[in-house]
A and B are shown apart, each in its own frame.
Chain A
Amino acid sequence: MIVADKKPIEEIIEELGAHEKILILGCNECVTVCEAGGKKEVGILASALRMYFLNQERDVKIDEETLQRQCDHEYLEEIRDKVDQYDAIVSIACGVGVQFTAEKYFSTPVYPGVNTCFMGATEERGLWTERCQGCGQCILARTGGICPVSRCAKRVLNGPCGGSSDGKCEINKEVICAWQLIVERLKALDRFDDYEELSPLKDWSTDRAGGPRKVVREDVQP
């Protein structure tokens, strides 16, 4: 899923400036799972803002809405009839949702209420960790199912680097060395000999480096 984290409320308040009619817009997908932008968090943020504006003796209307997804036209259309009632939207979906909302409602300011962090997994409640950077050319078959692009601080394709110590990364003793995991997994798969295969230079043109990407699937297009 896409993992996001809450923005400090002070930052959101600053974004909102003098707006007086605000819609807090949540999303039922990834950000709900990572407890940053679902219905519950919409409620919490709305209450916090109401209290803040009350203390400031400002009459600001704060409404709540949570869509099934903010990255699909279909669900975003559900608020079309009421968008005109607001002079700002705070989207607490991921950056995709914020942008898709802004594209659709072109004359309404849309502010981000979360920081979108990475594509990751829930290790346990309250702990999410990165697994994928969407490089567009998956190499997991070669690396025992563990991704050095997203999990190595130097995205070393022929690792580990000299900074791996006790299975931990040089940047932080709490970060597991991805290449330690890859070596262990290759051994478990009885593929340790593959370690000595050189990984070729990666084609990063399918990564961020190649510019904004798109996937076109004519087979499923209407």
Chain B
Amino acid sequence: MKGNTASRLKKVLSAGHLAVTSECGPPRGSDPEVITKKANLIKDHVDAVNITDNQTSVTRMCSLAACIRLKLLGLDPVLQMVTRDRNRIAIQSDILGAASYDISNILCLSGDHQSFGDCAQGQNVHDLDSMQLIQTVRHMRDDGKFLGGDEIKRPPQMFVGAAANPFADPFEIRVPRLAKKIKAGAEFIQTQCIYNLDKFEEWMKLTRDRGLHEQVYILAGMTPMKSAGMAKYMKNRVPGMDVPDELVKRLSDTPKEKQAEEGIKICIEDIQRLKEVKGVSGFHVMAIEWEEMVPEIVEKSGLYPRPEV
């Protein structure tokens, strides 16, 4: 994994530690305190913080501005960038803007379809797809050039990440697809939320069989369930999500006022189990609008304190 970046996330991973990342969703407004408050809740318990990019296609404060705020606070942000809203000019331009603040991690995504959000009648761009976005960042960084071929003065130094969904269909291409993302230049992977641990372990085995775990750092995506209702919603309504019946039952069988606590407990148990899986390099804890629980999850999973690098 070459490339010279000041990414704290990369340093933690290359030193062989299990990394911990989390994410913050920017507000639906311009109040800067929202993002800094969320970040302050988790900053001592994670190595890097993803900032989502208009997730579920609902218009929010831009990821780049929120990342700059975190960077100025001394945190290591991961700029999430979707190809839905930008053509290749805007993509390269935003990457340079991020690089001007030495934002040193990027997560390359295609983005949810706009029909899920508040601008269902809008156009989508998809000039590039997520793989081509990975290629673009690597080209800008490694070759120091724009897509058009001109030289970039002070090229971006970014640790390049991608998402993987071990549960989306067709399952047989999930590992070839990971291989393809690595071929495109992905250096770290943050997975979709994992609830079906058996299936994830099967995916990891297939990943190891091809030696892919040695070519990319895989961070397992963990999202604690707040309630049985959330588990049912995730199971039935969120595309590409695999929530086993036993999990829904365990939460449904828990008294309502104890369900959130049980959700956190399950999340910690899952992290404990996945820590032992060869090829898992860390955890991406996405506590959706529940950032205050991240410290407890990280501590009780034995991932605290975070290493000094």
Contact = CB atoms under 8 A, between A and B. Distances in A.
Interface of A: 153-167, 170-171, 177, 180, 183-184, 195-196, 198-201, 204
A167 B173 CA distance: 12
Contact of A154 (B113, B172, B183, B239): B113
B147 interface: yes
Interface of B: 83-84, 88, 110-113, 115-116, 124, 126-132, 135-136, 147, 163, 165, 168-170, 172-173, 176, 179-180, 183-184, 192, 239-240
Given A158-B180, A195-B176, A163 B135 contact: no
Contact of A163 (B176, B179, B183, B240): B240
Contacts of B132: 157-158, 199-201
Contacts of A199: 129, 131-132
A154 B163 contact: no
A196 B128 contact: no
Contact of B170 (A153, A171, A180, A204): A180
A195 B240 contact: no
A156 B129 CA distance: 5
Contacts of B111: 154
Contact of B130 (A155, A161, A183, A195): A161
B209 to A, nearest CB: 15
B128 A153 contact: no
B115 A171 contact: yes
Nearest to B191: A162
A164 B172 CA distance: 13
B126 A154 contact: yes
B184 A162 contact: no
Given A196-B180, A196-B183, A154 B88 contact: no
Contacts, number: 96
B165 A158 contact: no
Nearest to B180: A196
Contact of B192 (A158, A162, A170): A162
B129 A198 contact: no
Nearest to B128: A201
Contacts of A196: 176, 179-180, 183
Given A154-B110, A180-B169, 14 more contacts: A154-B129, A156-B130, A157-B132, A160-B169, A162-B165, A162-B239, A164-B240, A170-B239, A171-B115, A183-B173, A195-B173, A198-B131, A199-B131, A201-B132
Contacts of B136: 201
Instruction: State the majority secondary structure of interface residues on A.
Output: loop
B131 A158 contact: yes
A198 B135 contact: yes
A156 B126 contact: yes
A156 B109 CA distance: 11
B130 A167 contact: no
A198 to B, nearest CB: 6
B165 A157 contact: no
B165 A201 contact: no
Nearest to B163: A162
Contact of B126 (A155, A164, A171): A155
A154 B84 contact: yes
Contacts of A166: 169
Contacts of B113: 153-154, 163, 170-171
Nearest to A170: B239
Contacts of A153: 113, 115, 124
In the A-B complex, the 9 residue pairs with the smallest Cβ-Cβ separation, listed nearest first, are A170-B239, A162-B165, A158-B131, A163-B239, A156-B129, A162-B240, A161-B110, A171-B113, A154-B126
Nearest to B139: A201
B168 A164 contact: yes
A137 B239 CA distance: 31
**Interface-central residue, A161, A199, A201, by most chain B CB under 10 Å:** A161
Contacts of B129: 154-159, 161, 199
**Interface-central residue, A153, A166, A180, A201, by most chain B CB under 10 Å:** A201
A184 B169 CA distance: 12
A75 to B, nearest CB: 35
A177 B173 CA distance: 14
B207 to A, nearest CB: 14
Contacts of A155: 126, 129
B169 A164 contact: yes
Nearest to A187: B172
A161 B164 CA distance: 9
